[in-house]
Amino acid sequence: MKAMIFAAGLGTRLKPITDTTPKALVPVGGKPLLQHTIEKLKLAGFDEIIINIHHFGDQIIDFVKSNKYFDIRIEFSDERASLLDTGGGIKKASHFFNDNKPFLVHNVDILSNIDLNQLYNYHLNNNAVATLVCSCRKTSRYLCFDSERQLKGWVNIKTGEVKSSIPEFNSNQYIQMAFSGIHIINPEIFNQMHKFEDRFSIIDFYLSICNDEKIVYYSNGNSQMIDVGKMESLEQANKFFS
């Protein structure tokens, strides 16, 4: 199975650590975040991985090489010239997903006990083009799903901004879920990315096609999930492994 790890972020919320180190190599529980992610994917049967790189990308390449590519196929999608955002990053790596099978996308700074095989099977059984791992955690931005778990819009509850192609969209009429940064995608969606420039958000892309394509959420009430994107979450992340 194939997967993509997002490791190109600047890690600005983890300064000053990321002044000299890419976020992907920030240590948690005795290992860099990237190693935790690769090992989790490998354990679940993902043996072909592409990693996008930008900030201190050479350090990430050297780390993977020094670990002998973790005895699986690992390639790099080089965004050092220009960050492409989440949608653009997936589009640039599209050549890697040439087997017509669903693939996993995983943010490097997300730690969880999500069963990735269960997630993958859920995606297959629901005949969706994309399955987004979501949770009920508090945040300012939510994805909005209908009673069939299908994506219908997005809302920023602090600003009141909404995104949806539904006329007079009311986010309060939908299930509001926080996106985790883990998703399963069918490669057929690449056929619809031509209308977007090289740099774009995958969420904006999902919202542009969700009325015509089935995009659903996956949530496990017993799951633990930590976003290690900011300093205050590092201590929590270390406890996750203790």
- In CATH terms, the superfamily for domain 2-240 is Spore Coat Polysaccharide Biosynthesis Protein SpsA; Chain A (3.90.550.10)
Say whether 39 sits in a helix, a strand or coil. Answer: helix
Q: How far is CA 219 from CA 187, 193, 224, in A?
A: 22, 26, 11
CA atoms within 13 A on the CB side of 93: 31
For the chain, the structural domain boundaries read 2-240
Report pLDDT digits (tens) over 4-49. Answer: 999 999 888 888 888 999 999 999 989 999 999 999 999 999 999 9
Q: How far is CA 57 from CA 51, 70, 200, 201, in A?
A: 10, 18, 21, 21
Q: Which structure tokens are listed for 75?
A: 């390639």
Give the helix, strand, coil percentages of the chain, each rounded to 5: 35, 30, 40
Could you write out the DSSP letters of every residue in 161-187? -EE-SSTT--GGGSEEEEEEEEEEE-G
Report pLDDT digits (tens) over 187-210. Answer: 999 999 988 999 999 999 999 999
User: How far, in Å, CA of 19 to CA of 238, rounded?
Assistant: 21
- pTM value? 0.94
Q: Which structure tokens are listed for 219?
A: 């949530």
Bridge-based pairing state of the strands 31-32 and 73-78: unpaired
Residue 12's pLDDT is what?
Answer: 81
